[in-house]
Chain A
């Protein structure tokens, strides 16, 4: 960077406290025009809070935020914020409105104006087609409420792209995307940053993606900036993890270190789809890869959320099909949803009720006893959840920490099957390793694990076998042992790795 920097926004000495907890303790952060800037940090480091303050949806306690126009002039905060678009971690979508309206409505600023549906559809199409032309061509008039999580994520990103913003803040945008969609998103971002000088702030815990897309990174730790604007290439993965404050040993692969990787004795779990039969011995970790359509029907059957004509799941002690998730849970089929905000966290109940929800169902508890508090604290300690009190509401915790609450629900329960949808979504690298370890321990105690992830690298690391679905939602095959590789997975799922 020989020439003078063209700063879009710079933040210095930002502080913020929620009650007694101080989240930001003096953060510095700045973004240049035309760069993709990775914002890194562990769960609860303060990334989301800083983003909220920059966009004006939270108030700062102290510090400065300065916005500049492309020509370098100072801007007022209101003016600067108009040129920012955000993709939030928890999607901001309107379920009863159409895809087109969800993308275009925010850009009809004048309430008294005519709402031109054609123009809205045109805007929406142009934005969506940048990521997925086919989706754009077929889905403009679909209701958001009928879309899957990953389709919703695309709509959300398209909205940001359509805004004509000069700065886009993406808070874990790829968490719900398939590898192929992520690829297309990156291509679009690269083009826009190069051609129209768009700046992108990118929050992700996926090291590979960070290296693919971001040229600059800032690392935040415990509410302070520890690395300010370093070139991503100048830091090794180990450096980054260490700066984020994760334990240095955590990133060493533990594949070999886990005690029992042999399948255990006991009644197997059998998954059947016309002609296809898969036998899972206790202790198996089965990965599920591919576009969401296929895995979601399988998972719905496994956890009793819906009956399916395609899939049958049998086990010696189970009925032919579950009548409800409650029955499934009580017969030892556990489930951790990938849609944390809508189907996972009980937002109006305190942490303790969130943590113990599944245990109460499985045990059929009628009374909530005092011993539960110790149990909750033990679980939180096992998962290293930091919370001021177990009586706080979950929204006082960061997204990644909320994910841990969901995991805690099934942790240590002697279940026969545990189905996980994107269990490491939104959690930092250190926590990810902890989760891998905990899940392996559960498998070692005889639980069959079904692990759906859109991150192939993760499946390869954790799973004994991986079941791949193609883009049509059909099972394309099961790979195991030496066959397990990114290339083979990409081939079967029909998606670039």
Chain B
């Protein structure tokens, strides 16, 4: 082979990469763009009925109310990508709040109490991860068990009573500004979104999440550490649920045993609206966050328009249905990020 042909083939090779690479970047956020548009349309529709819905004040409301769901959804997403499911996040959320509030009542400062609260997430995440990977039980069953256990422990901590927050400065976790001009709840959402999206896309272990969800059997044969990856997903999910619980009590300044009971289904719904398949192997952090935002916008709109709030569930349900149908019939199969 002459020098010339080698050079030529190297050039064509480079060219094909460029083209293939560019296409993949344009195409990879198609679903997310569609959801973003849908959210804007929804917000405008609500705004046409209730003008104040489009005010900055309401925007702040939506993000503040939506932050815990956004963070929890990011955790659930990690598990869903690996082909699992985490039903325990709502209970872990509640239990974290109760344990943290109780710790403060026993004289711990806000920071120490938060660490104690997060250890609840670490513990339950590890139990989930252990039972799914080492014991080989089905994720649905495992997390149904921890959902029930953590849920009941959330009552036991205070015998069912709600618990006010002891540390007077604890509100700063949610509403303070580590970065000037930006409330923490927004900062946390953005940081977690960016970190998780980059992890999933750019880090080898992130690609393992998709590999495991795509085919655990094939991933194992390829030498990908399936168990370690799966374990990590459950721990991350529980930790994020825990953190989201902390954020909520810091906002409401009161911990309740049932605080997270509706959140688990919303988080799963957010992940699904965001384009992830419950069969695993697909989904993006951006999608999950947009899914969570969409649910929050719907709830907010239902409130503002003055519809009986019992309708919230039905409206959310229809939104999920539409999102899933669009995903189903938009021809292009979605890849793993």
Interface, chain A (partner B; CB < 8 A): 57, 86, 88, 91-98, 101, 105-106, 108, 110-115, 117-118, 121-122, 125, 129, 137-138, 140-141, 143, 145-146
* Given A97-B336, A141-B21, residue A106 in contact with residue B224 (CB < 8 A): yes
Minimum CB–CB distance for B315 against chain A, Å:
31
Minimum CB–CB distance from A121 to chain B (whole Å) comes to 5
B17 contacts A146, C-beta separation under 8 Å:
no
Once bound together, how far apart are the Cα atoms of A118 and B24, in whole Å? 12
Assess the A137–B12 pair: CB atoms within 8 A.
yes
For A110, the closest partner residue in chain B by CB is B204
B227 interface residue per 8 A CB criterion? no
Q: How many A-B residue pairs have CB under 8 A?
A: 101
- B17–A118 touching, CB < 8 Å: yes
Q: Tell me which residues across on chain A come within 8 A of B210, comparing CB atoms.
A: 94, 96-97
Q: Tell me, yes or no, whether B97 is within 8 Å of chain A by CB.
A: no
Q: Name B residues whose Cβ lies closer than 8 Å to a Cβ of A.
A: 12-13, 16-17, 20-21, 23-24, 201-208, 210-211, 213-215, 217-219, 221-225, 228-229, 280-282, 333, 335-336
Given contacts A118-B21, A125-B17, A140-B20, contact A97 B223 (CB under 8 A): no
Asked if B218 and A141 sit within 8 Å, CB to CB, the answer is no
- With a CB–CB cut-off of 8 A, which chain A residues contact B225? 111
**Measured CA separation A145–B229 after assembly (Å):** 22
Hey, which chain B residues are within 8 Å of A95, CB to CB?
214-215, 281
| With A125-B13, A145-B333: A94-B211 Cβ-Cβ less than 8 Å | yes
Known: A88-B221, A96-B210, A105-B211. A112 touches B24 (CB 8 A): no
CB neighbours (8 Å) of A129 from chain B are 13
Residue of B nearest to A113 (CB): B204
Which residues from B are CB-within-8-Å of A93? 215, 218
Q: Chain A residues with Cβ under 8 A from B206's Cβ?
A: 115
Given contacts A97-B281, A112-B204, 5 further A-B contacts (CB under 8 A): A97-B211, A105-B208, A115-B201, A125-B16, A140-B17
Contacts of A101 in B (CB 8 A): 207, 211, 336
Q: B23, B215, B224: which has the most chain A beta carbons within 10 Å?
A: B215
Q: Which residues of B contact A97 (CB under 8 A)?
A: 207, 210-211, 214, 281, 335-336
Contacts of A94 in B (CB 8 A): 210-211, 214-215, 218-219, 222, 281
Whole-angstrom distance between the alpha carbons of A111 and B204 in the complex?
5
Whether A111 contacts B205 by the Cβ 8 Å rule is: yes
B263 to chain A minimum Cβ distance, whole angstroms, is: 27
Contacts of B282 in A (CB 8 A): 96
Of B21, B204, B217, the most chain A CB neighbours within 10 A belong to B204
Could you tell me if B207 and A105 are in contact, using CB atoms closer than 8 angstroms?
yes
8 Å CB contact of B221 from A57, A112, A118, A138: A57
Is A117 in contact with B21, judged by CB distance below 8 angstroms?
A: yes
Q: What residues of chain A lie closer than 8 Å to B223, measured between beta carbons? A: 106
Whether the Cβ atoms of A115 and B21 lie closer than 8 Å is no
Chain B residue at minimal CB-CB distance from A145: B333
Query: A97-B336, A111-B204 known; A92 and B17 CB under 8 Å?
Result: no
Q: Which of B203, B207, B213, B333 has the most CB of A within 10 A?
A: B207
Residues of A within 8 A of B221 (CB): 57, 86, 88, 92
Which single member of A111, A121, A145 contacts B20 (CB below 8 Å)? A121
Decide: A114 near B203, CB < 8 A? Known: A95-B281, A125-B13: yes
How many angstroms between the C-alpha atoms of A106 and B53 in the bound complex? 50
A118: B residues at CB distance < 8 A: 17, 21
Check B202 against A115 for contact (C-beta < 8 Å): yes
Residue pair B333, A92 in contact (C-beta under 8 Å): no
Query: Cβ of B17 and Cβ of A122 under 8 Å apart?
Result: yes
Q: A92, B204: Cβ atoms under 8 Å?
A: no
Lowest 4 A-B CB distances belong to which pairs? A96-B281, A111-B205, A92-B221, A94-B214
Q: Which residues of A contact B211 (CB under 8 A)?
A: 94, 97, 101, 105
Question: Which chain A residue shows the least CB distance to B15?
Answer: A137
A141 B23 Cβ-Cβ under 8 A: yes
Q: Are B204 and A114 in contact (CB under 8 A)?
A: yes
Cα separation A83 to B218 with both chains bound (whole Å): 19
A115 to B204 alpha-carbon distance, docked (Å): 5
Give the residues in chain B near A98, CB-CB below 8 Å.
Answer: 24, 335
- Please measure, in the bound complex, the distance between the C-alpha atom of A374 and the C-alpha atom of B336, giving whole angstroms: 47
Which residues of chain A have C-beta atoms less than 8 A from B13's C-beta? 125, 129, 137
Chain A residues with CB under 8 A of B215: 92-95
B residues in contact with A146, CB < 8 Å:
333
The answer to whether B12 and A115 have CB atoms under 8 Å apart is: no
B20 to chain A: closest residue by CB: A141
Provided the pairs A92-B222, A94-B215 are in contact, do residues A143 and B335 lie with their beta carbons within 8 angstroms? Answer: yes
Complex CA–CA separation, A129 to B280 (angstroms):
31
